[in-house]
């Protein structure tokens, strides 16, 4: 009679009864993990969304309203990135995993890749740059971003013609 490894059997049964229990738990949020998220986002790497809770809510009002779920955010940025190259740079980042919060002062640079790009501040043409400064607040759930809110401190547009003179 063979001896059965009960811990292996128990793990197998647990994974069959509760598949979620067998999944890897998300890592704790750290400043480094958040900066990696910004790096992936700025590179257009859709793995940036891996840091989101499945039911993430993004208050992107008034321009785009309220986005619900990872897919809605991915779809929005796919559309935006067809018209601009976006780079987000952190000035200050405070991560408080104990209270489930992140506050980040960010600078966003959008470079128009074609003519006639409609933005709240006006129309951009190829090479024009829109720079906005603001603060983004995140709420965390199980180490993932579950809520995103932002405030914009200011924006400016640098026209391509102005930089060529």
How far is it, in rounded angstroms, from Cα 156 to Cα 134?
12
φ and ψ at residue 8, rounded to 5 degrees: -70, -40
pLDDT tens digit string along 26-44?
A: 678 999 999 999 999 999 9
Question: Does some domain include residue 4?
Answer: no
Residue 11: pLDDT over 70:
no
Q: What is the CATH number of the domain that holds 84?
A: 3.10.450.50
Q: Going by C-beta distance under 8 Å and a sequence separation of 6 or more, which residues neighbour residue 93?
A: 31, 34, 35, 102, 103, 104, 105
Question: Does some domain include residue 98?
Answer: yes
Residue 15: pLDDT over 70:
no
Q: What per-residue confidence (pLDDT) applies to 115?
A: 96
Identify whether the C-beta of residue 146 lies closer than 8 Å to the C-beta of residue 55.
yes
> In this structure, are strands 144-158 and 52-59 parallel, antiparallel, or unpaired?
parallel
Question: Does some domain include residue 8?
Answer: no
Question: Does some domain include residue 3?
Answer: no
- pLDDT tier, 55 (very low <50, low <70, confident <90, very high otherwise): very high
* Domain boundaries, position 146: 27-164
Question: Does some domain include residue 11?
Answer: no
pLDDT tens digit string along 108-158?
A: 999 999 999 998 888 999 999 999 999 999 999 999 999 999 998 888 999
Name the domain count of the chain.
1
Question: Does some domain include residue 86?
Answer: yes
Q: Going by C-beta distance under 8 Å and a sequence separation of 6 or more, which residues neighbour residue 129?
A: 109, 110, 111, 112, 157, 158, 160
């Amino acid at each position: 009679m063979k001896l059965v490894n009960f811990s292996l059997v128990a793990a197998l049964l647990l994974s069959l009864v509760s598949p979620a229990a067998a999944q890897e738990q998300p890592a704790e949020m750290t400043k480094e993990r958040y900066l990696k998220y910004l790096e992936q986002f700025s590179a257009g790497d859709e793995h940036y969304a891996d840091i989101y809770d499945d039911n993430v809510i993004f208050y992107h009002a008034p321009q785009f309203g309220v986005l619900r779920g990872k897919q809605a955010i991915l779809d929005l940025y796919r559309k935006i990135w067809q018209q601009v190259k976006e780079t987000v740079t952190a000035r200050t980042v405070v991560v408080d995993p104990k209270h489930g919060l992140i506050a980040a002062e960010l600078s966003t640079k959008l470079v128009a890749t074609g003519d006639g790009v409609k933005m709240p501040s006006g129309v951009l043409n190829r090479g024009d740059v829109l720079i906005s400064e603001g603060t983004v607040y995140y709420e965390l759930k199980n180490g993932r971003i579950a809520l995103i809110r932002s405030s914009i401190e200011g924006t400016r547009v640098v026209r391509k013609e102005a930089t060529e003179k």
